Structure 1
Amino acid sequence: MSSTFAFTRKFLLGSSKVCGPTAAISKELLLRPEGPRNYLLAQPRLRPKERTPLVILLHGFGASAAQLLGQGFPPSPLAHWLEIAEREHCLLAVPDGVGHSWNDGFADAPINAKTDDCGFIGALIDELIESQHVDAARVYVMGVSKGGMMAFRLATELAPKLAAFSAVLASMPLNNKCPPPRVPLSALLIASQADPLVRYSGGSFLKNRRQSGSMLGIEASIDVWRKLAGLTGNAVPQPLQQRVASNKTRATRFIWGADPQQLQVGLIRIDQGGHAEPSPTRRYPRWIQWLVGEQNADFETAEAAWDFFKEKRSASPDF
């Protein structure tokens, strides 16, 4: 492959590198009052006898479950979860939002779906605990962009069913039609300071503010979960090692709570980063990065979430 062709391909299509065996994907549906709801199920090829962890993954606005798992364009960094699922023997459930969106609780976002997505995902968790031998104490949620905003709502309304959650490139609503969270839950946020769509300091994206709704700032969202968990004080910044010298972004991790088996709240902040999930193996096309900002390459978003999730257990699993 010539260097010119390789550059053109990366500019137009991006790149995706699979580094290990991946879990097998099947198409599934769950009947709900609003009609059948579609989701993808990814299972490791060798299932252990003991109950397995479950990770619910939520796509962004305009995307789909298939795109999130690497079956569509552009290459999604969260497709790396297929390698984690195979290696760690966990189950992935990746639902589709109706109209490629979610009912995430933003009171001033007319683009939101009107479906009962909390009811759907709660029922999906119950179904998979029963039918797929899932460990009810090890259910986790991760969402990106609009899916991350939905993850905040699930963490608020389904907290007893969850052990931890992660919201990537997402913030909580300033005008929330749902009650505030009351049950503490471990939370990991991954956010970019130069994100043009989800502003680090809060507010709304200027070009579509009438559609997307107003958001809290990232640190204000972090504070909601820190205070609920009783985690006060300052976290020590932990700079992540830079992998690509030409990449202008820098990643720093902050963790509140010393014990990974207890409540923790974490933030990975991407300085000079845009609206793109960090990954060294799944790279967005350059033209997309020109539109939404630079993609960090210092860590795998999925691996950071799994490292945060794997020791967490829900306080009162509902078997």
Structure 2
Amino acid sequence: PSKTPCSKRPLVIALHGTGATAEQLFGMAFPPSPLSVWLEIAERDDVVVVAADAGEDGWSDCFASDARVAKQDDVAFISAIIDHAIAEHEADPERVYVMGVSRGGLLAYRIAAEIPHKLAAFSAVLACMPPPERVRMPSKPLSALIIGATADPLMPYTGGKYFYALRFLDQVSSIEDSARFWCELAGLTETSAVSELAHRHDWDKTRVVLYLWGGDPTKLQVGLYKIIDGGHAEPSIAQRYPSWINKLVGQQNADLEVAEAAWTFFKDKCRAAQGHYVAA
């Protein structure tokens, strides 16, 4: 943010997907990502926002082998960014959030599993968790916002693996099982609150339903945005992908501003309320 801070500020780390970059995520390369709306949020609400860049080799995400992680440990990378932002940019260690899209979402799951004590909440967009037998699963509860699309041609909403994915993607759990995992870890066993978002445009054939477990936004919560008939494109009202991208990856919903939805979920949550406080 351009203004001088009067107190510690929330920190959001945004993680791009395969084929994208930090510049593209921040709207500085084509096509601008819906996550570039975080820049508006940063200025409006005094939030420090970092776009991390995977580089040419991509993220060492939750499917990465031990050998790959030994060469490129992206959890250590994100942990170092958090420490730097706290030391140099007035970031509040109690209010650190991670949001990842696609492969960036797979890394967000790994970050939530390995350094939950550094986070207040996380969000995985268009990304499914690995099956329980595939990796070491998280053991600490954490507030999680998961966004999935039922017609996603890359990340199967119902889990498994598309035949055409070949070696580019492993078997995954379903989006709903991914949300259910974090609910069970947090002890959120009650029935979710369900609401359907208002529909804005007749030309938009997708719909959005929000499932929310946990009634207190200051405590552990799990949210699931289900984008019915949506594809592998982050939902956005303001940042629309070109039509040729929709033809490749499916429809982009226009009822939900994904960065604003994440900020609404994040902003009342602090690290101490997640149940595993560690002093900075």
Partner of 2:98: 141
Partner of 1:171: 128
Work out which of the residue numbers 137, 157, 166 in structure 2 matches 1:209: 166
Partner of 1:295: 252
Instruction: State yes or no: 1:251 paired with 2:212.
Output: no
CA distance in 2, matches of 1:256, 1:55: 22
**Pairs aligned (count):** 275
Structure whose residues are more often strand by fraction: 1
Work out which of the residue numbers 83, 87, 106 in structure 2 matches 1:126: 83
User: Is the Cα contact below 8 Å between 1:101 and 1:112 reproduced in 2?
Assistant: no
User: Is the Cα contact below 8 Å between 1:105 and 1:178 reproduced in 2?
Assistant: yes
What secondary structure does 1:282 align onto? coil
User: Is the Cα contact below 8 Å between 1:77 and 1:282 reproduced in 2?
Assistant: yes
- Shift of the alpha carbon at 1:236? 2.8
CA distance in 2, matches of 1:272, 1:150: 25
- Shift of the alpha carbon at 1:195? 0.5
Instruction: State yes or no: 1:318 paired with 2:275.
Output: no
User: Is the Cα contact below 8 Å between 1:261 and 1:312 reproduced in 2?
Assistant: yes
User: Is the Cα contact below 8 Å between 1:59 and 1:96 reproduced in 2?
Assistant: yes
User: Is the Cα contact below 8 Å between 1:202 and 1:215 reproduced in 2?
Assistant: yes
- Shift of the alpha carbon at 1:48? 2.1
- Percent identity between matched residues is 51
What secondary structure does 2:211 align onto? strand
Question: Over residues 260-280 of structure 1, what are the superposed CA-to-partner deviations in whole Å (9 max), with x where a residue is unaligned?
Answer: 000000001000100011111
Moved over 3 A (4+): 110-114, 175-178
User: Is the Cα contact below 8 Å between 1:103 and 1:113 reproduced in 2?
Assistant: no
Unaligned runs of 5+ in 2: none
CA distance in 1, matches of 2:142, 2:21: 27
CA distance in 2, matches of 1:114, 1:273: 36
Instruction: State yes or no: 1:193 paired with 2:150.
Output: yes
User: Is the Cα contact below 8 Å between 2:15 and 2:99 reproduced in 1?
Assistant: yes
TM-score, with length taken from structure 2 = 0.94
User: Is the Cα contact below 8 Å between 2:5 and 2:90 reproduced in 1?
Assistant: no
What secondary structure does 1:81 align onto? helix
CA distance in 1, matches of 2:212, 2:160: 25
User: Is the Cα contact below 8 Å between 1:47 and 1:89 reproduced in 2?
Assistant: no
Counterpart residue identity of residue 255, structure 2: D
- Shift of the alpha carbon at 1:318? 3.4
CA distance in 1, matches of 2:169, 2:59: 12
Q: Which has the larger radius of gyration?
A: 1
Question: Over residues 95-141 of structure 1, what are the superposed CA-to-partner deviations in whole Å (9 max), with x where a residue is unaligned?
Answer: 11132511112158x99995100111111111111111110000000
Instruction: State yes or no: 1:285 paired with 2:242.
Output: yes
User: Is the Cα contact below 8 Å between 2:154 and 2:165 reproduced in 1?
Assistant: no
TM-score, with length taken from structure 1 = 0.83
CA distance in 1, matches of 2:172, 2:64: 11
